[in-house]
A = this chain, B = another copy of it.
Amino acid sequence: MMKQFFKGIGKIRYEGPDSKNPLAFKHYRASEKVGGKSMEAHLRFSVVFWHTFRGTGSDPFGGAVYDRPWDEAADPMERAEDAMRAAFEFITKLGTPFYAWHDRDIAPEADDLRETNRRLDRIVKLARSLQRDAGVKLLWGTSNCFSHPRFTHGAGTNPDPHVFAYAAAQIKKAMECTKELGGANYVFWGGREGYSNLLNTDMKQEQDQMARLLQMAVEHKKKIGFRGTLLVEPKPKEPTKHQYDYDAATVLGFLRKYGLYDDFKLNIEANHATLAGHSYEHDLTVAASEGMLGSIDANRGDYLLGWDTDQFPTDLYSTTYAMMVILKHGGLRRGGVNFDAKVRRGSFDPVDLFHAHIGGMDAFARGLKIADRMSRDGLLEDFVSERYAGYKRGVGRRIMTGKATLAELERYVLKQGEPEKRSGREEMLENIVNRYI
């Protein structure tokens, strides 16, 4: 008989907004249609392996504190298998259609790469079987090229090509495992692809290296016939002082510079956006407005703290604004809403993982419904489209179609004089949003 890791917790059910049961959904109902599509299909929720099954609650001032029954076996591979089984028990009870992993989360590193890869194969085999049984899919896989000491000075951007090679080998294997498990995407988050100090750094060299690594990944993807989308996940800093994939705009510029633009999309995380000085909806818009939004990491930071707190998303404004951007640009397609979030250090009970995910799923479900209603009513969109209407005709049209010149526009002003002012109505628009929340 299978071990049970979340004893006493059954399948999480939808009980509606009036339910007082903390272990029930108040708003998320997978099959409920919103704008003609089920919530499940809109949101494509994904549970992450690392924080949720490998997190310990440690922080720079204290060690492991979480109580995890899947982490008790003496043998590391037995712990790895227990964790994978616990994950599927959790996902099944919670009801998300997807999950995501780093290679090193699901299988611990051994003394050499060959043995490490063997371990990975063994766990991937287990995962495949569990996926099939549970009807759960892999949203994305990725390789952890930042935790091991060898990556202290970076992976692809490491000054030592031997380390670059190690990262390359890991990525090759992780991409193959992702393919093996039918992953919809493969993600690059360069945890140490940046610098700690400019004094010992050749920035251009490091970025050239990084581009080379991504190019090889594109080639390998084609070679093995992996059909998922390659995603880059921006983050401005932490653990390094400066990470090259600073924010959405920076990554898009990088991809353009190195001829990688057509082979990648972005995975945008809320807390990474705010650490870069942007709102979540800003970075989502930067990516989505040029068709480059691949997937999202759902969490939230604390605006008053300067590090990646990775809290579960519960702010309805944030989930609403995110879903407004996503709906407007045609949905998440192959992407999903991936809970790259962790319970607080003091929430060490396994049940807290349920509270956290239920809260995040309900918050996104409400955000989706609110955004959908706003979109159907069209008040905001009409306001915006009317505001720029001048560019659809006359001199505005000449400007946008490249016909106008500075000289022509000078003549226009000399003739027409001063433009009229028109209020931007920000307060009224914010009140409209509050009407829907």
Tell me how far the C-beta of A76 lies from the nearest C-beta in chain B, rounded to whole angstroms.
14
Are A347 and B418 CB-contacts (below 8 A) given A147-B63, A216-B406, A390-B159?
A: no
How long is the Cα–Cα vector from A356 to B425 in the complex, in angstroms?
9
Tell me how far the C-beta of A412 lies from the nearest C-beta in chain B, rounded to whole angstroms.
5
Asked if A26 is an interface residue, CB under 8 A from chain B, the answer is yes
Between A163, A191, A388, the greatest number of chain B beta carbons within 10 A of the residue's beta carbon is seen for A388
The interface bits of chain A over 375-403 (1 if a CB of B lies within 8 angstroms of the residue's CB, else 0) are: 00000100111011011001110011010
A434 touches B160 (CB 8 A): no
Asked if A59 is an interface residue, CB under 8 A from chain B, the answer is yes
Asked if A133 is an interface residue, CB under 8 A from chain B, the answer is no
How long is the Cα–Cα vector from A191 to B63 in the complex, in angstroms?
13
CB contacts (< 8 Å) of A238 on chain B: these are: 60-61, 305, 307
Asked if A13 is an interface residue, CB under 8 A from chain B, the answer is no
How long is the Cα–Cα vector from A52 to B428 in the complex, in angstroms?
16
- A149 in complex: contacting residue of B65, B409, B435, CB < 8 Å: B65
How long is the Cα–Cα vector from A307 to B201 in the complex, in angstroms?
22
Are A191 and B61 CB-contacts (below 8 A) given A359-B427, A399-B161, A410-B169?
A: yes
A406 touches B220 (CB 8 A): yes
CB contacts (< 8 Å) of A426 on chain B: these are: 196-197, 199-200, 343-344, 346-347
CB contacts (< 8 Å) of A153 on chain B: these are: 346, 422, 424
Asked if A208 is an interface residue, CB under 8 A from chain B, the answer is yes
For this complex, 16 residue pairs linking A to B, each with C-beta atoms less than 8 Å apart, are A17-B435, A63-B147, A67-B421, A161-B396, A165-B416, A166-B413, A169-B409, A169-B414, A196-B344, A196-B345, A208-B400, A212-B404, A237-B277, A347-B424, A352-B428, A359-B434
A150 touches B202 (CB 8 A): no
How long is the Cα–Cα vector from A149 to B355 in the complex, in angstroms?
21
B434 touches A316 (CB 8 A): yes
How long is the Cα–Cα vector from A395 to B164 in the complex, in angstroms?
10
Tell me how far the C-beta of A141 lies from the nearest C-beta in chain B, rounded to whole angstroms.
15
Tell me how far the C-beta of A288 lies from the nearest C-beta in chain B, rounded to whole angstroms.
9
CB contacts (< 8 Å) of A383 on chain B: these are: 200
How long is the Cα–Cα vector from A256 to B61 in the complex, in angstroms?
29
How long is the Cα–Cα vector from A435 to B27 in the complex, in angstroms?
10
Are A278 and B304 CB-contacts (below 8 A) given A114-B414, A168-B409, A168-B410?
A: yes
Are A242 and B282 CB-contacts (below 8 A) given A173-B410, A434-B359?
A: yes
Between A65, A236, A394, the greatest number of chain B beta carbons within 10 A of the residue's beta carbon is seen for A65
Are A388 and B159 CB-contacts (below 8 A) given A200-B425, A220-B405, A431-B314?
A: yes
CB contacts (< 8 Å) of A435 on chain B: these are: 17, 20, 26
CB contacts (< 8 Å) of A405 on chain B: these are: 216, 219-220
Asked if A29 is an interface residue, CB under 8 A from chain B, the answer is no
Q: Which residue of B lies closest to A437 (CB)?
A: B316
What are the 6 tightest A-B residue pairs by CB atom distance, in nearest-first order? A306-B306, A253-B253, A161-B396, A303-B303, A346-B424, A168-B409
- A237 in complex: contacting residue of B20, B305, B380, B412, CB < 8 Å: B305
Asked if A32 is an interface residue, CB under 8 A from chain B, the answer is no
B395 touches A165 (CB 8 A): yes
B241 touches A302 (CB 8 A): yes
A355 touches B425 (CB 8 A): yes
Asked if A134 is an interface residue, CB under 8 A from chain B, the answer is no
Q: A198-B321, A359-B427 are in contact. List 12 more A-B contacts (CB 8 A).
A: A149-B421, A159-B388, A169-B406, A197-B429, A198-B285, A220-B405, A246-B247, A250-B250, A253-B253, A256-B257, A314-B430, A343-B427
